[in-house]
């Protein structure tokens, strides 16, 4: 948790952004979610917007901010003696409210009264789209289930630009994520089960932070994007995609991807495509600066990828034509990156397009570009991921061939002869947009080029 002055100042800025709006802004924190029965819950994770403005990392809190008077009230229940028996003594709601600079608190049940009073008086009640079912039902029961675009836009405007305290937390989450990845790389050995490495790397963030920032991807089938099965045995000659990140105790995230040759050395074919992804990764980073639209960085990476694939003989013809058709989407059917902060895909619960697109930008329908989650013109304080990849997805290749989507630019006979069991490659770092460019978050960068990765794996083996 930050100092109370930070939360006070964030709420003041929000009020300022919403000046002229009438009524109340309503914030609902998360509640415990039973895994099987009421007393056996999933690990508690607070709502991120709640954390940003109200800080209290405990279940079943809500708050109301009066947009006309500035009055703030936190709603939650003090613990009973029964709770104390099971949980030990707890600070009172009033003490917790005071710790984030809020003077007024009331029992949770009073929220219904305050909201219905406002509705009866015809005052607007501004809410955001809930990220959890409980809050969806809660808002329905309160009769305020239509989110407020004004509130959503004001929150997005603030959370998109990270403050220095947040950047420090993101750097720390980065260091922890890099530690996870280093442990994972050292664990790659033929014959081991993937799950063993997942356990080792997740143990790193569990012992120093909150846990993982999303379900770990560790797979020799990197062409399957969110492959969460880890039962496979590590085989020689494969590419292993490891996409994982840490969530620190303050809940800020990191998100890194590296792709390792399971045998310690890339085959020539793997190296060619790896080099292409690495060049796209470096190119993207070099282009990140205030004033540049991230959509254009995505497109520059796609263009470079097509140029290299053309040299390898996988595609042919005019690069401009291929860019127009969106041929890169066959090989990279995802966007170059996303915003990151308290959520690994920051604020996507508030609406992907509102978060990732400027008002004058329209989301493409093309495969790949259409999945770009961050297209905006960059400003200092934005935190984004830079994660190009190349994937050989047999079903997608067959579909494009059948439908002629590529209009003759793809060398299907080469793909079918040599690449259908290739897998996938992705590289990802976390990037802060600075006043005059960009810097990567975290500590010392993880090995990234093919030579750096092979050298690191050679040293791992030597030291084993
Ligand atoms: N690194 C996982 C994702 O961005 O979806
Ligand atoms: Mn990512």
Residue listed under structure tokens 């600066």: 289
The answer regarding whether domain 4-159 maps to CATH 3.40.350.10 reads: yes
Interval between CA 254 and ligand 2 midpoint (Å): 9
Tokens of 65: 């901010």
Per-residue pLDDT of the chain (464 residues; tens, 9 = 90+): 999 999 999 999 999 999 999 999 999 999 999 999 999 999 999 999 999 999 999 999 999 999 999 999 999 999 999 999 999 999 999 999 999 999 999 999 999 999 999 999 999 999 999 999 999 999 999 999 899 999 999 999 999 999 999 999 999 999 999 999 999 999 999 999 999 999 999 999 999 999 999 999 999 999 999 888 999 999 999 999 999 999 999 999 999 999 999 999 999 999 999 999 999 999 999 999 999 999 999 999 999 999 999 999 999 999 999 999 999 999 999 999 999 999 999 999 999 999 999 999 999 999 999 999 999 999 999 999 999 999 999 999 999 999 999 999 999 999 999 999 999 999 999 999 999 999 999 999 999 999 999 999 999 999 98
Angle at 29 between CA 28 and CA 32, to 5 degrees: 130
Interval between CA 42 and ligand 1 midpoint (Å): 22
**pLDDT value at residue 227:** 82
Q: Is 214 in the pocket of ligand 1 (CB under 6 A)?
A: yes
Q: Is 430 in the pocket of ligand 1 (CB under 6 A)?
A: no
pLDDT digits (tens, 9 = 90+) for 399-443: 999 999 999 999 999 999 999 999 999 999 999 999 999 999 999
Q: Is 348 in the pocket of ligand 1 (CB under 6 A)?
A: no
**Closest to 315 measured CA to CA, from 329, 296, 336, 333:** 329
Dihedral Cα 450, 454, 460, 464, nearest 10 deg: 150
Distance between CA 442 and CA 385 in Å, rounded? 12
Atom of ligand 1 nearest to the CA of 338: 4
Could you list which residues have their CB under 5 Å from ion ligand 2?
A: 255, 385
Distance between CA 20 and CA 23 in Å, rounded? 10
**pLDDT value at residue 228:** 82
Where do the CATH 3.90.230.10 domains begin and end in the chain? 164-463
Find all residues with CB under 8 Å of 65, minimum gap 6, and list them. Answer: 11, 14, 15, 24, 25, 27, 71, 72
Q: Is 343 in the pocket of ligand 1 (CB under 6 A)?
A: no
Distance between CA 454 and CA 449 in Å, rounded? 9
**pLDDT value at residue 220:** 97
Residues 133, 141 contacting (CB under 8 angstroms): no
Q: Is 88 exposed, middle or buried (0-12, 13-18, 19+ CB in 10 A)?
A: exposed
Cα distances (angstroms) measured from residue 24 to each of 10, 39, 398? 16, 34, 54
Atom of ligand 1 nearest to the CA of 243: 1
Atom of ligand 1 nearest to the CA of 255: 1
Cα distances (angstroms) measured from residue 448 to each of 72, 279, 297, 454, 457? 48, 10, 19, 10, 12
Q: Is 255 in the pocket of ligand 1 (CB under 6 A)?
A: yes
Interval between CA 264 and ligand 2 midpoint (Å): 24
Alpha-carbon 145 to chain mean position:
26
**Closest to 427 measured CA to CA, from 246, 291, 283, 303:** 283
Neighbours of 229 (CB within 10 A): 11
**pLDDT value at residue 423:** 97
Interval between CA 255 and ligand 2 midpoint (Å): 5
Q: Is 223 in the pocket of ligand 1 (CB under 6 A)?
A: no
pLDDT digits (tens, 9 = 90+) for 328-355: 999 999 999 999 999 999 999 999 999 9
Atom of ligand 1 nearest to the CA of 345: 4
**Closest to 310 measured CA to CA, from 405, 410, 406, 416:** 410
Where do the CATH 3.40.350.10 domains begin and end in the chain? 4-159
Spell out the CATH class of 164-463: alpha beta
- pTM equals 0.97
Interval between CA 213 and ligand 1 midpoint (Å): 10
């Amino acid at each position: 948790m930050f100092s109370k002055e930070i939360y006070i100042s964030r709420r003041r800025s929000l009020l300022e952004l919403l000046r002229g709006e009438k009524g109340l802004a309503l914030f609902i924190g998360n509640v415990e979610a039973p895994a099987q029965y009421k007393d056996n819950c999933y690990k508690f994770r607070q709502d991120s917007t709640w954390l940003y403005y109200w800080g209290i990392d405990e279940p079943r809190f809500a708050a109301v901010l009066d947009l006309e008077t500035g009055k703030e009230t936190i709603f939650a229940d003090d613990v009973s003696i029964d709770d104390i028996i099971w949980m030990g003594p707890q600070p009172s709601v009033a003490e917790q409210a005071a710790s984030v600079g809020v003077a007024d608190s009331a029992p949770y049940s009073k929220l219904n009264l305050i909201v219905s009073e406002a509705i009866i008086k015809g005052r607007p009640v501004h809410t955001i789209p809930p990220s959890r079912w409980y809050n969806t039902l809660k808002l329905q029961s309160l009769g305020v289930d239509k989110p407020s675009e004004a509130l959503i836009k004001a929150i997005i405007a603030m959370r998109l630009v990270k403050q220095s305290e947040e950047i420090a937390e993101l750097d720390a989450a980065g260091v922890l994520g890099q530690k996870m990845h280093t442990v994972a790389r050292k664990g790659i050995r033929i014959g081991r089960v993937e799950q063993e490495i997942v356990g080792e790397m997740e143990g790193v963030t569990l012992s120093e932070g909150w846990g993982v920032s999303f379900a770990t991807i560790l797979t020799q089938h990197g062409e399957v994007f969110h492959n969460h099965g880890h039962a496979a045995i590590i085989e020689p000659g494969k590419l292993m995609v490891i996409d994982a990140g840490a969530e620190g105790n303050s809940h800020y995230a990191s998100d890194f991807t590296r792709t390792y040759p399971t045998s310690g050395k890339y085959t020539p074919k793997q190296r060619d495509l790896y080099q292409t992804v690495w060049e796209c990764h470096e190119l993207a980073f070099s282009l990140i600066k205030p004033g540049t639209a991230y959509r254009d960085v995505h497109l520059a990476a796609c263009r470079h990828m097509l140029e290299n694939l053309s040299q390898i003989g996988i595609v042919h013809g005019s690069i401009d034509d291929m860019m127009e058709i969106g041929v890169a989407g066959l090989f990279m059917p995802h966007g170059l990156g996303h915003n990151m902060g308290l959520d690994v895909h920051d604020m996507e619960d508030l609406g992907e397009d509102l978060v990732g697109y400027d008002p004058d930008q329209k989301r493409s329908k093309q495969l790949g570009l259409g999945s770009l989650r961050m297209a905006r013109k960059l400003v200092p304080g934005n935190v984004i991921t830079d994660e190009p990849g190349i994937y050989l997805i047999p079903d997608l290749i067959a579909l494009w061939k059948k439908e002629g989507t590529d209009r003759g630019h793809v060398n299907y006979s080469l793909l079918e002869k040599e690449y259908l069991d290739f897998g996938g490659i992705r590289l990802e770092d976390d990037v802060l947009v600075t006043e005059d460019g960009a810097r990567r978050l975290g500590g010392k960068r993880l090995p990234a080029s093919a030579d750096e990765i092979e050298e690191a794996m050679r040293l791992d083996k030597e030291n084993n």
